[in-house]
Amino acid sequence: SITSENEEITEESFKERKFSLVSSIETEKLIGKALICINDDNRLLSIINEKNAYNILFSDFINCQNCLNYLANNEQKVFYNLKNWYHLANKNSFKINGNNIDLMVVAFLCDSKIKTIDNLLAKYNLTLKVEEKDNQLDLFSENNNSTELNAISNRLFYLTKILLKELKQKEMESLYFDVERPLIKILADMEIVGISVDEKVLDSIAKDTAKKIAHYEKEIHRLANKEFNVNSPKQLAEVIYDDLKLARSTKRSTDAKVLGKLIDVHPIIEEVLQYRKYAKFYSTYAFGLKKYIEEDGKIHTKFNQTVAETGRLSSSDPNLQNISIRTEDTSSIRSAFIPEEDCVLLAADYSQVELRLLAHLSQEERLIDAFKKGLDAHTKTAMDIFSVEEDKVTPLMRRQAKAINFGIDYGMSAFGLAENLNIPVGIARDFIDSYFEKYPNVKKYMDDTVAKCEQTGYVTTLLNRRREIPEIKHRNRNIKEFGKRAAMNAPVQGSAADLIKVAMINVYNQLNKRNLKSKLILQIHDELIFNVPLEEKNEVMQIVKEQMEQALTLSVPLKVEASFGRNWLEVI
């Protein structure tokens, strides 16, 4: 029999429905909770409920008024990848209403390892049989019946009850209906609106970057005393290990970590690392972003709800969450992202949000007190660890305290901290001991979280998002240690994800309620970016700060830093 984690499922309860191909559907056949699926090229649909199973071409579907009325009514419907449907609705001018189920999101909430239909079907032993898969010939034939679409639809319809039961058992119904489901529409809208790009700025950055790449290549050739392909690991290894004899190694590695250790041995290493940095920047951003600019002069990135196991959103095609502000060169690319005409960009960023959440979750009085007094958390940690007054905290002390604050949250070892700060392991261990001595509740919280996870196999966030961490029960010590670190960090990271999602929903609703033209266009970790017409600046600034700072009630105040700019670099 087919088994899931939660219950025995008998083979009989999984019915293979036969689908009939139709060009329209009567209203009375569209009653009750139906599962609506569409194939990858958005050409053919399957609609399945307790009584009926239909295939209908998308072109017929959008000309069938009964079908469109069904989508627009407030009855609950079931989809897989509801965000795609919002895109289809936008392109074809129809409406989707109802407190709908997105099986893709529900399955991911129940088990964050499930990121694709294949993962989902495999988990419940429902993998497609070979004969059920569409072969390449089917895709180009006139036969509009899809074996694969129907086989998947049958399985998803059957899994709907199982997944909703699991969602309830794991106490995540509220997380889905109050947070994740409303967010689907918001993400679709963000993708549809997109962000404007100034191609001239992009071209100018690409030109400058190409010059830098050529400069470093020339220097590398000069130092190597010969011309070779710097991009070839084999040729570079010959220069480093044979010609210049900078190190002896059987692996002859040229990766960044290995080269970093040779940086003081010969000037060519620094040049190679710089060359690589700019070459990557050029291919990914300076030149690489151009292919994503659409006819409207905008980039429409995709926001993914079912990728990061912590619950954070990710972005792809292109990944805009990776455009670092840490280095001057890479941050320059942000200057190419601009507002629409007669608008400005507004960036609103949660300040030290993970530390605030750690203070709340651990109920560490010293940290709570520091945030209530409006102190800088890293300065406060430096004062506590080094036992000095605020005016005696040096920039180095603050930098070390910052590394400790973030390191502790990620379960960093003394060895990891030593490497990060370039200090002896003994001193790093003293720092960590001193931290836990000053913040005993943080230590207790970390220990309790790990112990509970070892017992149950999962951790939860403030809004009860669950992350299973099977690694914590592993026999292999390294894997188990990874599990422990994940257990320490996931509740904090995941709660930060919960928080910003609630903030996005509240801000979005307020903007709509007041009929404002301002739009949320990007979410980057703890930061939200808006396109704001000039006449709405003051009102929107107030809404955004208010809604973000009041998104969740914690033992510490939430602080949002927000500013306007004529491009994405200016708002930082």
Q: Which residues contact 144 (CB under 8 A, 6 or more apart)?
A: 21, 43, 44, 55, 57
Q: Which residues pair with 195 in a beta bridge?
A: 299
- Of 440, 489, 491, 482, whose CA–CA distance to 463 is shortest? 491
Cα separation of 47 and 195, whole Å?
35
Q: Report whether the peptide linkage leading into residue 267 is cis, meaning its omega lies within 30 degrees of zero.
A: no
Give 206-216 pLDDT, tens digit per residue. Answer: 999 999 999 99
Q: Global pTM?
A: 0.91
- Of 11, 183, 244, 271, whose CA–CA distance to 551 is shortest? 183
Give 285-324 pLDDT, tens digit per residue. Answer: 999 999 999 999 999 999 999 999 999 999 999 999 888 6
- The three-state secondary structure class of 262 is coil
Burial of 522 (0-12, 13-18, 19+ CB in 10 A): buried
Domains and CATH numbers, the chain: 2-170 (3.30.420.10), 199-292 (1.20.1060.10), 298-352+498-565 (3.30.70.370), 354-497 (1.10.150.20)
pLDDT at 560 over 90: yes
Give 13-70 pLDDT, tens digit per residue. Answer: 677 889 989 999 998 898 788 999 998 889 999 999 988 999 999 999 999 999 999 9
In the structure encoding, which two tokens stand for residue 128, read together? Answer: 């497609």
In the structure encoding, which two tokens stand for residue 117, read together? Answer: 């239909």
The arithmetic mean of pLDDT across residues 145-153, rounded, is: 83
